[in-house]
């Protein structure tokens, strides 16, 4: 038996007990006649004591040879600590060691295995197995486990069945690039790793499973950032014989359950907002509604005044920064520089201070009088003491730029509180998006999304106006889940493929298996997929999903720990009938 107790378990009630512990040496303090060592495992830390009066010469020699991260086993007696440590649960006791065995020595680790480490991200990624020993990473993985367990509990109680779907599938166009896998037994042919189990969960509905879920890996070969990984995890769900309202109710319930069980937070209302309103009020389709600063469109009151920049703009729009009238000219200039950065792309920013005495002072006083600026304040909801910031230009770009400014200001003002949760349903998305480069429409979600009832005919006359029977669940400015009511009729699906530019032959080659299934009694169905990584990060109060993944990739999609991806040898290439042309 390597241990009778773990390193976070011993208390004063265990005094005089004979125990066996195993773990890693956290630190060693050698005072000559006495040696203390902190022994760590997943559960906590226990202090060990060796002294010349009560420990043998052999044990003292071993204790003095211990280094950081040595793996050891000790036996001894639990005694009261003379100098107690209130910062750890085991801080009132220590173990007087009577036997010690070094199970494995360790090199000096490349960074300290402590909560506040001296290791940068690159070195910690390379030695991720050491990083996992640190409490912040370990606790994040345990937290993720707790969330996953609660998801399974809730969905199982709601009658959902967990079904696994294949990882080696057929390449189908779903918006991002596929990762492809060559087949040795089928020369010149390739599998693809699934971007999502979309078609399989629809086939499960055709198969009569009625309520399906799966916590599943998905794969997309796309550019990466802090909140994106080439392999990520979804809570994938589908239901038969449902309408949009049924799905929203079920997954509001799941979100409430997680917030209550994981965070102790009770949420009553999940507001709903149309996509059009979200874009108009917040400039993006996943607005953070924990704070205000809604957009105020100023075209009717800011144009036709001799200010050419506004007159030539498709959209003039502003927000009011609480307390911003107190900003110095230097602070305002810094905001102007911030929106001009290439990442934001604005050409400049107009501002107006709403002074405490009710007067206004703006950067365009030459063109707008006090009455005009009062109308700006009314449109943006500004109060005395606020600063009105105004951007103008192309509608979509300007909204995106002002949205970025809104989020930056909220971060600076401390309005994005990690212990406050504000869920929101965004509904009525456009069914199709126009690709400005090609002039062709593509599906905003995926090609199996159903249009809103009664709007199918608009596909022929005004495709951009068709609304999707789709919905996203937003939490604190992040999309944590999205889904739709699916098309379950072969004729409607054929119509959708045609409008997306698929010939009948291409549609059959790509999705013939699904179209065939629809001929055998497909029920009305729909579903939703949560991004587990993002959901866990938000519940954990952090921004980066990488912190909640055991072995993540870096921003280049590389696993620097195992050095992947990597070349394969010539024999493997030959077996796979592949030739490199680099």
Characterize the bridge pairing of strands 423-427 and 272-274: parallel
> Which has the closest alpha carbon to 459: 482, 436, 483, 491?
491
Residue 36: C-alpha distances to residues 51, 77, 94, 95, 132 (Å) = 9, 14, 9, 10, 24
18 annotated binding-site participant: no
User: Do 295 and 283 form a contact (C-beta atoms < 8 A)?
Assistant: yes
442 annotated binding-site participant: no
Backbone angles phi, psi at 432, to 5 degrees: -125, 150
Q: In what helix (H) or strand (E) does residue 72 lie, and over which residues does it extend?
A: strand 71-80
- In angstroms, how far is CA 159 from the centroid of its own chain? 27
486 annotated binding-site participant: yes
User: Do 428 and 485 form a contact (C-beta atoms < 8 A)?
Assistant: no
Q: In what helix (H) or strand (E) does residue 198 lie, and over which residues does it extend?
A: helix 198-206
Characterize the bridge pairing of strands 71-80 and 18-30: antiparallel
In this structure, how many other beta carbons lie within 10 angstroms of the beta carbon of residue 2? 10
Burial label, 309 (beta-carbon count in 10 A; 0-12, 13-18, 19+) = middle
221 annotated binding-site participant: yes
Tracing tokens 């005089």 back to the chain, one arrives at: 16
Tracing tokens 């220590």 back to the chain, one arrives at: 94
> Which has the closest alpha carbon to 48: 57, 24, 2, 32?
24
In this structure, how many other beta carbons lie within 10 angstroms of the beta carbon of residue 174? 19
Provide the strand spans (E) within 127-210.
161-162, 180-182, 190-192
Say how far apart CA 515 and CA 484 lie, in whole Å.
18
532 annotated binding-site participant: yes
222 annotated binding-site participant: yes
Structure-derived torsion over alpha carbons of residues 15, 18, 22, 25, reported in degrees to the nearest 10: 50
User: Do 412 and 299 form a contact (C-beta atoms < 8 A)?
Assistant: no
Backbone angles phi, psi at 299, to 5 degrees: -50, -50
Provide the strand spans (E) within 508-559.
525-531
174 annotated binding-site participant: yes
User: Do 267 and 425 form a contact (C-beta atoms < 8 A)?
Assistant: no
User: Do 49 and 36 form a contact (C-beta atoms < 8 A)?
Assistant: yes
User: Do 273 and 424 form a contact (C-beta atoms < 8 A)?
Assistant: yes
Say how far apart CA 164 and CA 215 lie, in whole Å.
9
Structure tokens belonging to residue 429: 């998305």
Structure tokens belonging to residue 464: 């951009």
In this structure, how many other beta carbons lie within 10 angstroms of the beta carbon of residue 44? 17
> Which has the closest alpha carbon to 220: 185, 180, 188, 260?
180
525 annotated binding-site participant: no
Say how far apart CA 307 and CA 316 lie, in whole Å.
12
> Which has the closest alpha carbon to 518: 484, 483, 494, 497?
494
Annotated binding site for L-aspartate: 174, 220, 445, 486
Binding site feature residues? 174, 220-222, 229, 445, 479, 486, 531-534
- Residues tagged in the binding site annotation for ATP: 220-222, 229, 479, 531-534
């Amino acid at each position: 038996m390597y241990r009778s107790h773990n390193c976070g378990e011993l208390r004063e009630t265990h005094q005089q007990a004979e125990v066996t512990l195993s773990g890693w040496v956290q630190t060693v303090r050698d005072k000559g006649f006495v040696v203390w060592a902190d022994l760590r495992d997943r559960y906590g830390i226990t202090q060990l004591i060796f002294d010349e009066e009560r420990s043998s010469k052999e044990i003292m020699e071993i204790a003095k040879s211990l280094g950081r991260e040595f793996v050891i086993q000790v036996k001894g007696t639990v005694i009261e600590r003379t100098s107690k440590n209130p910062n750890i649960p085991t801080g009132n006791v220590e173990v007087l060691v009577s036997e010690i065995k070094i199970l494995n020595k360790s090199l000096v680790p490349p960074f300290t295995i402590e909560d506040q480490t001296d290791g940068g991200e690159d070195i910690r990624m390379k030695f991720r197995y050491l990083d996992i020993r640190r409490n912040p990473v370990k606790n994040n993985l345990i937290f993720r486990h707790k969330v996953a367990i609660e998801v399974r509990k809730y969905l199982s109680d709601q009658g959902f069945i967990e079904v696994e779907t294949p990882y080696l599938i057929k390449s189908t166009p779903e918006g991002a690039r596929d990762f492809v896998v060559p087949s040795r037994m089928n020369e010149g042919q390739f599998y693809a790793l699934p971007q999502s189990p979309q078609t399989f969960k629809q086939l499960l509905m055709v198969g009569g499973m009625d309520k399906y879920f799966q916590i599943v890996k998905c794969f997309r070969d796309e550019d990466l950032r802090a909140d994106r990984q080439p392999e990520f995890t979804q809570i994938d769900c589908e239901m038969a014989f449902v309408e949009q309202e049924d799905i929203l109710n079920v997954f509001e319930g799941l979100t409430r359950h997680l917030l209550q069980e994981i965070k102790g937070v009770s949420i009553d209302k999940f507001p709903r907002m149309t996509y059009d309103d979200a874009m108009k009020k917040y400039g993006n389709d996943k607005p953070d509604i924990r704070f205000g600063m809604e957009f105020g469109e100023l075209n009717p009151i800011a144009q036709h005044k001799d200010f050419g920049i506004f007159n030539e703009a498709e959209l003039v729009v502003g927000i009011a920064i609480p307390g911003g009238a107190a900003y110095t000219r230097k602070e305002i200039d810094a905001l102007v520089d911030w929106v001009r950065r290439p990442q934001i792309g604005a050409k400049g920013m107009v501002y107006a201070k709403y002074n405490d005495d009710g007067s206004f002072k703006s950067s365009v006083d030459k063109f707008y009088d006090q009455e005009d600026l009062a109308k700006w304040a009314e449109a943006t909801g500004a109060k005395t003491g606020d600063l009105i910031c105004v951007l103008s230009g192309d509608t979509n770009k300007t909204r995106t730029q002002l949205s970025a400014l809104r989020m930056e200001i909220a971060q600076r003002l401390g309005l994005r509180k990690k212990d406050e949760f504000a869920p929101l349903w965004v509904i009525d998305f456009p069914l199709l998006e126009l690709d400005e480069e090609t002039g062709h429409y593509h599906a905003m979600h995926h090609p199996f999304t159903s249009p809103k009832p009664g709007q199918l005919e608009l596909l022929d006359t005004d495709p951009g106006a068709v609304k999707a029977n789709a919905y996203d669940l937003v939490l604190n400015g992040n999309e944590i889940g999205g889904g739709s009511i699916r098309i379950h009729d072969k004729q409607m699906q054929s119509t959708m493929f045609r409008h997306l530019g698929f010939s009948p032959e291409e549609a059959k080659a790509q999705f013939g298996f699904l179209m065939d299934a629809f001929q055998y009694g497909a029920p009305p169905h729909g579903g939703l997929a949560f991004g587990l990584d993002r959901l866990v990060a938000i519940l954990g109060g952090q921004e980066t999903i990488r912190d909640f993944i055991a072995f993540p990739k870096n921003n280049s999609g590389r696993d620097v720990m195992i050095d992947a991806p990597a070349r394969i040898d010539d024999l493997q290439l030959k077996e796979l009938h592949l030739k490199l042309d680099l």
